[in-house]
Structure 1
Amino acid sequence: MSITISKTDLARNTRDIVDQARRGQTIVVQSYGEDQVVLLDAMDYRLLRALVAYALRDSAVEAGNAPVNDAVFAYLDERVSLAKAAELLDLSRFELMERFERLGVPLRQGPATLDEAHEDVAAARRGNSASA
């Protein structure tokens, strides 16, 4: 879901609007009733770029997005679990799940193989020891 604002609103409330975008809100900026720009969180933008590259089957679509492309490609090709993809992106599993849901990426809940289950447990342990 997105919200629409005017360029004047953006100028007056830039900090608040940027904060909303960073929290996952998509902001459409209009001028005279016409869409001008869309503001969205930087990671959501990178994920969208990776999804386009995946749809085109072209990892070179944006070479600067390689780490995100690699994680998204591996997840969509079912080579890694959601938890492992999140770890590769330096996100929590729940944050990546929320982002994928917002962006319409299909979610696979739970590991598909025993190896994935082991990877999930290892990722969870690394996450717990990092926060301790």
Structure 2
Amino acid sequence: MAERCALLIGTRKGAFVLEGDRRGSTWDVRGPLCEGWPIHDMILDPATGAILAAGGSPWYGASVWRSDDLGTSWTQSSEGLTYGDAESAPRLETIWNLTAAHGALYAGVEPAGLFRSEDGGATWRHVEG
């Protein structure tokens, strides 16, 4: 069996997963995924093999999607992606960057901030500082 590779692509119309051979001569395209939300970053979590997609907009807010089956099905979560419940707390508009490091996931958000997940992206907590 030939080795396969995958490209993870985020667009304004959703996420796309392209699977192809290592030479790049043929590609199978799946998408748009993540219900058509704007997706700004996608990563493969090295600890679990899950695909994570992140994005949002001023209209929708910020959210993360997770797929444990190479993009066939997705679970959406925005639990904890907030600066608080106060009326004066800014609303998160989007996630611009996802990074996996030291057994956790990190999300860079707008307005400027950093959030951390220790459960594969199911819940998030604001990193103070």
CA radius of gyration, larger in: 1
Higher share of residues assigned strand: 2
Provide the TM-score with structure 2 as the length reference.
0.26
Higher share of residues assigned helix: 1
Provide the TM-score with structure 1 as the length reference.
0.26
